[in-house]
Amino acid sequence: MPEQADRPRWLDRCRWLLVPAAGLGALGVFAKVAREVQERETTAVDRAVSLALHLLDSPFMDAVMRGFTFLGSFPAVAAVVVAAAIWRVRSRDRRSAVALAASISPSAGSATPR
């Protein structure tokens, strides 16, 4: 991490302005892309990317993608949260364990197949 003397002075003076400006810039870029998607101006790019990805189609890649999909499923996330809660209980941090358990219980209803 750079020391105070290594940073330009103008950066310290303008930091209060640079951070919000960067956030607004990112928001503006997102809004522009969202507008283009809504107006279907990105259809050609989407189609080209889709066709390029289909060139990678294989049984192995199907298995890899199913594995990535499973990582985001309720049983996989619940197992990680339960393991973390057990770790926090064993570390004598019961407050964190309760918070972890509470964070997963509202999403239990979303585990039902549609």
pLDDT digits (tens, 9 = 90+) for 77-95: 888 888 988 989 899 988 8
Residues 62 and 103 both lie in one domain: yes
Please tell me whether residues 50 and 80 are part of one structural domain.
no
Whether residue 98 sits in one domain with residue 66? yes
Q: Which of 42, 65, 41, 40 is nearest to 53 (CA)?
A: 65
CA distance 85 to 50: 40
The neighbour count for residue 34, using CB atoms within 10 Å, is: 10
Q: Mapping DSSP to helix (H, G, I), strand (E, B) and coil, where does residue 52 land?
A: helix
Domain holding 23, by residue range, is 1-55
Q: Are residues 26 and 51 in the same domain?
A: yes
Do 3 and 51 share a domain, yes or no? yes
Same domain flag for 31 and 70 = no
Q: Which element (helix H / strand E) includes 58?
A: none
**In this structure, are 69 and 47 located in the same domain?**
no
On whether both 64 and 90 belong to a single domain, the answer is yes
Same domain, residue pair 80 and 96: yes
d(CA 44, CA 49): 9
Predicted pLDDT of residue 3: 56
Q: How many domains does the chain have?
A: 2
Cα separation, 74 vs 81, whole angstroms: 10
Task: Say whether both 75 and 64 belong to one domain.
Answer: yes
| One domain, residues 71 and 84 | yes
Q: Higher pLDDT residue, 21 or 13?
A: 21
- 16 has pLDDT over 70: yes
pTM over cut 0.85: no
How far apart CA 82 and CA 69 sit, in angstroms, is 20
